[in-house]
Amino acid sequence: MAARLLRESQEDDEKPLFSAKLESVKALHTLLKAIHFKDSATCFLSSDGLKVTVEDAKCLQANAFIQASIFEDFTFDDEGTTFGINLSALLECLSMFSTKDSTQRTAVRMAYNGYGSPLMILIEESGVLIDCSIRTEEPIETLDFDFCSANVVNKAIVKAEGLREIFFELDGTSSVVEIMISPDAPYFRVTTFGIVGLIHFEIPKDSDMMESFDSQQTQANRFKFALIKPSIKALALASKVSIRMDTRGFLSMQYLIQNEDGSVCFVEYLCVPDMVLSEEE
């Protein structure tokens, strides 16, 4: 059904509101997996591309940005269109061809005809076609974190390799993770408070792992471990991570992910602090 509708949408004078084509589904599937910690997702369509957002308890928000330039074909006619979708169903559809042969490319075409319409997906590999039609939902109102660059007081760009070493070794018995950024030593520190006591991980500002460091004041903010943990999926894929904290103690972690063809996509995690400590503390 979806294949027929996709073909018709190309032939008819009335084009779908949104259509896009990728020669390889891998990059899209990988990015969406990096934010898959809840099933309910909200898709934002614009001429710039596709943004998919997942939230947890209005305390954590993950965004996957897929720029229009990543697609071989990207057509969009109605700025600001939004719809909800089950992310598990979307990922299952995109992974219909789970081949281990790296020489095989799985192409995908997507189309959406507007409010109430399903997201239609056509997948092709080696001449074999699979079509899916995924029911769209009312979009969930997402939280505006109002993360303004003008309010950022601390920023560090770290090689993902160094940050992975820290996050993969975090003490899972700790209920919170403290992130401290300061203009003074130790500059950047991650602390857990588990059953074995305090464990500190530090990256000096002159470390090879630190690509950029800008700290205006000391901040030591604690975040629930359960909210930090989902971001490790994106960290595993990234080459660089931009870590920012604003005047409220809100945390932004932007992951730069390079695709096989050299193109770049971004995943961002925004997190509300569980506790904001003063400079003296």
What is 2-134's CATH number? 3.70.10.10
- What is the three-class DSSP state of 126? coil
- Bridge-based pairing of strands 128-134 and 119-125 is antiparallel
pTM assigned to the model: 0.89
Which residue stretches of the chain are H helix? 2-11, 26-33, 87-94, 160-167, 225-228, 232-235
What is 149-277's CATH number? 3.70.10.10
Above 60 in pLDDT, residue 10? no
Mean pLDDT of 66-80: 88
In the chain, what are the domain boundaries? 2-134, 149-277
List C-alpha distances in Å: 136 to 50, 77, 245: 15, 18, 34
pLDDT tens profile 132-179: 999 999 998 888 888 888 899 999 999 999 899 999 889 989 999 999
